[in-house]
Amino acid sequence: MSRKVDVDDLLDANGVAELLGLAHRNTISVYQHRYPDMPRPLREFGDRRVKLWLRPEIQQWASEIDAQGRTRRKHGSSR
């Protein structure tokens, strides 16, 4: 059974980086290795291609790591 999502909740690597307050979208792949509990993309369109995450999952994860005192780099975060 397919999962229904609101397309407005989809984020590419740029959106995830912005939400997390990171300077570069390339840091997302580093985070995926550093933080095994980071949400995985909902959809991947192939190697070195677009990946899409769900905004609510990334927001929840960011709140959890903040609450645990784990650090994230913050560069002009709009949060």
pLDDT digits (tens, 9 = 90+) for 27-49: 898 999 989 999 999 987 877 77
Its pTM stands at: 0.79
CB atoms within 10 A of CB 23: 12
Rg (CA), the chain: 12
pLDDT tier for residue 1 given thresholds of 50, 70 and 90? low
Concatenated DSSP letters of 16-76:
HHHHHT-S-TTHHHHHHHH-TTSPPPSEE-STTS-EEEEHHHHHHHHHHHHHTT-----SS
Specify the pLDDT at position 79: 40
pLDDT tens digits for range 55-64: 999 999 999 9
**Average pLDDT across the chain, whole number:** 85
Domain 7-67 falls in which CATH fold?
Answer: Arc Repressor Mutant, subunit A (1.10.10)
Sign of CA dihedral 27, 31, 32, 33: positive
Query: Over pLDDT 90: what percentage of the chain?
Result: 47
